[in-house]
Amino acid sequence: MKLSNSFSGALRTFSYFMASGNQSTLKGIDYLSLYGEEPSAIEQVFAIYANVIELDENGQVLNAKYAEKRATDYLRKYCDSSFIVEPPYEDWEITLHNPPPKIDLITK
């Protein structure tokens, strides 16, 4: 099974705006320096995005903007301790799942 084109497009777009410093939900927050200084903060953002995003049975993304908001709210809170995340994160949203094996299970 491969990820859908819809998910690939949503992830690509989110990644681009996160890396470019133009993420609309983070206006006024200087977060680009975290990429080299605090990689675990960026890791958590992408984990939340992946945990929250939902796809229908055809692989179409249903909630890309909500996933972006939940993910970037973490970074906003990380950079601005006065920011309140509403609703508070549930455990499943912030879980860091295990990485893949060091050797691919299939080769081409």
List Cβ neighbours of 89 (8 Å cut-off, separation of 6 or more). 48, 70, 74
Whole-model pTM: value is 0.90
CA–CA gap between residue 50 and residue 71 (Å, rounded): 9
Q: What's the CA gap between 94 and 74, in Å, rounded?
A: 9
Read off the pLDDT of residues 46-67 as tens digits, 9 standing for 90 and up.
999 999 999 999 999 999 999 9
For the chain, give the percent of residues with pLDDT over 90.
81
pLDDT at 105: 87
pLDDT surpasses 80 at 84: yes
Cβ distance 58 to 4 under 8 Å? yes
